[in-house]
Structure 1
Amino acid sequence: MTVDRILPSDEARDLLDLATEIADRELAPKVTGYEERGEFPREVLRTLGRAGLLGLPYPEEYGGAAQPYEVYVQVLEILASRWLAVAEAVSVHTLSCYPVAQFGTAEQRKLLPDMIGGELLGAYCLTEPQGGSDAASLTTKAVRDGDAYVVTGTKAWITHARSADFYNIFCRTGGPGTAGISCLVADRNTPGIQPQAPERTMGLHSSPVAQIAFDGARVPAERLVGGEGAGFTIAMSALDSGRLGIAACAVGLAQAALDYAVGYAKQRQQFGRAVIDFQGLGFMLAEHATQVSAARALLLAAARLRDAGRPYAVEAAKAKLFASDVAMRVTTDAVQVLGGAGYVVDHPVERYMREAKVLQIVEGTNQIQRLVISRALARG
């Protein structure tokens, strides 16, 4: 199904056309093989970087495209509709560039052209084995020792853990609570940074996650971003943007599942007619088409608030919550539409269903999104 999009500029239209071309040429033909091998598509990310698709929301002076988030999230949606792991990798990498881009010193921002261009891939190290959504209780420590911080602790469920060239490390440099949290940017070859074995996950096999152990890793003090104690503010503001990225991934995945189910239902014949003509199935697909459109509209409304410089955290939570729940429903029912064929790997809907689940978990579980929204309602 062709999505009718209203875009803010001709340049934005060209970017979406470019994203579609690359997605059809570089992503769609490769996804099955990479997923089967469990291989991370590093060169695909470099291709996207060289095409200017990894720095869309960042300023041109650092090699970005200075595009509004309204455009960026639609590019993510297109990528996700062909290969979710790549779209999620773009979202995580964009998130990983945020601390230096928004809070970094002039010297630190010299790293941005290579970050944004995709030559340096980033990882966002916030979650810990005993604390995911409760980021304020993180225990990874960084102790100042001369001209460096010595980092000790463990991070968990880190995307790009074994592939990244730099790590944003959220760590405790002070006392308990949010005021004691800081952010360091470390190079991958720093002694004492030890990515662990990949986790065996339900989906996204081509984008494995892993724990990272920090065993006395010495990170230069000049890599402290935003000053001591600024880490929690950096993390939370970055996650608001990250939730828009995950919502976009969810919309793209749901659209792909819907399109595949509709195509199959139009071709599959039972009792002398296409199964889409049976009201029970046709109405279900109509409901899902409406939900996907609603998720896209909610996402774009939140992105436009961000672009206008207005508060958008609650709307980002709504978009992430609704879009990922829609993706789970649509992918599950896409398997049902295909019947037995949906349960085998010959068709991509079984992969879509496995992949959708993680979108309800990352960047804050959907229970946390409900908490964010309900607290906003309580404040009035």
Structure 2
Amino acid sequence: MDAQEFADVVSAVRAFVREQVIPREDKIEESDSIPESIRQGAREMGLFGYALPEEYGGLGLSLSEEVRLVFEVGYASPAFRSMFGTSNGIAGQVLVKSGSPEQRASWLPRLASGEVVGAFALTEAEAGSDPSTLTTVARRDGDHYVIDGAKRFITNAPEADVFMVFARTGGPGSRGISTFLVPGGAPGLKVGTPDAKMGQRGAHTAEVFFDGVRVPASAMVGDEGTGFRTAMASLAQGRVSISAVCVGLAQRIVDETVAYARERTQGGHAIGEYQLIQGLIADSQAELYAGRAMVMEAARAFDAGEDTKLGPSCTKYFCSEMVGRVADRAVQVFGGMGYMHGVPVERFYRDARLFRIYEGTSQIQQVVIARHLLR
């Protein structure tokens, strides 16, 4: 995509977010769902496939381009990005990186158009931060595999048409894990009730149960025993994108904070005139500036093949923690109003908490970073 075409895409998304999504955020929060008009608008702009290859109907953005687009997407409620995030990211990238030509041709065009939604089924009740210990099993039975087990906290599971399922086909450890493409309507597959979460309403997670789910051997994605490697590759790229979401949300929170500090008065003065309020705003802007720079550099290095592990972990660690601090300061600036339902910063305070947990907790990022340096 040439520079002008990409700039036009970013501009269109920015306008859509501000004119269509933000005015409906309260409705999304109340209904725990994304309005169909927003979903259709996202399809028409190609947001379900911005990171998928052009040959399959996607926009084919590099990671450096993707994060600049996600800065705009992240300015709205995180549920908006979650609607198409897994199709572009951890689920879609499994097929991009490891899928057969037939699997790609069958599923990527439909993911890119938004006709179908993908889900990444890795996490289990006792295999979250260390998925190499997962216990979901895929047993070979002639020309098929039979999958038994359960997954937890699977994003978009209630809406998913296809699951990228990680199951054990061999012995213990990471080398015994393979990846399977499982249609959402497969007999024996059951999606649980959507989880009642603290925040990010409109973005759904749920348990997924596999009871004798039978898939053809051709449903295996990549070679047997490469599933863990496939998952980690998709997560590394996804961590940079999640960091961009954090930057976009932090920008929104800073803008809300500054606007309130200009308008709210105490003692006959706008509270923004008081130096302690200025200090809170300055700290948030400085961290936002650093986070944006980190994301851009991590994406550049990833695209160049210079760093596909350390940079994504450093960036995800910093940006997910950063947006939490920015949200906390915003509530402090708003004072009592920041603790009230219906005020955006109260909602963002709850929404931001999840970024430090999913797609690799802050503690896992610390381990990845330290082990990389100490090896």
Q: What interval of TM-score do these two structures reach, taking the shorter chain for normalisation?
A: over 0.9
Given that 1:77 and 1:87 are in contact with CA atoms closer than 8 Å, whether structure 2 keeps it comes out as no
SS in 2 for 1:29: helix
C-alpha distance in 2, partners of 1:332/1:45?
A: 30
Counterpart of 1:3?
Answer: none
Q: Distance in 1 between matches of 2:44 and 2:138?
A: 35
Is 1:201 the counterpart of 2:197? The answer is yes
Contact 2:52-2:92 at 8 Å conserved across structures: no
* Structure 1 residue 365 displacement after superposition: 0.2
Does the 8 A contact of 2:246 with 2:320 survive in 1?
yes
AA of the residue aligned to 2:254 = L
Residue 23 of structure 2 aligns to a residue whose secondary structure is coil
- CA-to-partner distance for each residue in 1:96-123, whole Å, 9 max, x for gaps? 1111111111111112111112111011
Give the equivalent residue in structure 2 for 1:32: 26
Tell me the CA shift for residue 11 of structure 1.
2.2
SS of 1:107's partner is helix
The aligned amino acid for 1:11 is E
Match of 1:226 in 2: 222
**Is residue 2:66 matched to residue 1:72?**
yes
Q: Which residues of 2 match residues 167-178 of structure 1 at below 5 A?
A: 167-178=163-174
* Residue 91 of structure 2, aligned match among 66, 89, 96: 96
Give 2:246's aligned residue. Answer: 250
Alignment equivalent of 1:82, drawn from 51, 76, 84: 76
1:43 positional shift: 5.7
> What does residue 182 of structure 1 align with?
178
User: CA 1:8 to 1:266, structure 2 compared with 1: closer, same or farther past 3 Å?
Assistant: farther
**Which whole-Å CA distance do the structure 1 matches of 2:171 and 2:43 have between them?**
39
Task: Give the paired residue count.
Answer: 373
Q: How far 1:68 moved relative to its partner? A: 1.4
Whole-Å separation in 2 of the counterparts to 1:353 and 1:191: 40
| Corresponding position: 1:313 with 2:317 | no
Letter in 2 for 1:106: P
Structure 1: runs of 5 or more not aligned: 1-6
Match of 1:339 among 331, 335, 339: 335
- Give CA-to-partner distance per residue, 1:53-84, whole Å, 9 cap, x none: 22223221111212211121122221121121
Query: In 2, Cα distance between the equivalents of 1:220 and 1:42?
Result: 34
Conserved in 2, the CA contact under 8 Å of 1:93 and 1:123? Answer: yes
For residues 351 and 170 of structure 1, do their structure 2 counterparts lie closer, same or farther at Cα, with a shift above 3 Å needed?
A: same
Matching residue within 363, 374, 377 for 2:373: 377
Q: Is the 8 A contact 1:247 1:299 kept in 2?
A: yes
Distance 1:8 1:275 in 2: 45
Q: Per-residue deviation at 1:258?
A: 0.9
Asked if residue 351 in structure 1 is aligned to residue 347 in structure 2, the reply is yes
Q: State the match for 2:103 in structure 1.
A: 108
Which of residues 48, 53, 56 in structure 1 aligns to 2:42? 48
Report the Cα distance in structure 2 between the residues aligned to 1:43 and 1:245, rounded to whole angstroms.
25
Alpha-carbon distance change, 235 to 46 in structure 1, aligned in 2, over 3 angstroms: farther
User: Which residue of the other structure, out of 259, 266, 283, is the alignment partner of 2:262?
Assistant: 266
Q: Which sections of structure 2, spanning at least 5 residues, go unmatched?
A: none
- Paired residues of 2:84 and 2:117 also in contact (CA < 8 A): no
CA displacement at 1:244 relative to structure 2: 1.0
Identity, % of aligned positions: 38
How many Å apart are 1:49 and its aligned residue? 2.8
Pick one of 5, 13, 16 that aligns with 1:19.
Answer: 13
Q: Report the RMSD for the aligned CA atoms in angstroms.
A: 1.5
Q: Please state how far the C-alpha of 1:25 moved relative to its aligned partner.
A: 3.0
Tell me the SS of whatever aligns to 1:197: coil
My pick for the range that moved more, 268-277 or 42-51, is 42-51
Q: Which amino acid aligns with 2:198?
A: M
* Residue 146 (structure 1) shift: 2.3
Aligned position for 1:4: none
8 Å CA contact retained: 2:257, 2:330? yes
CA contact (8 A) 2:169 2:178 kept: yes
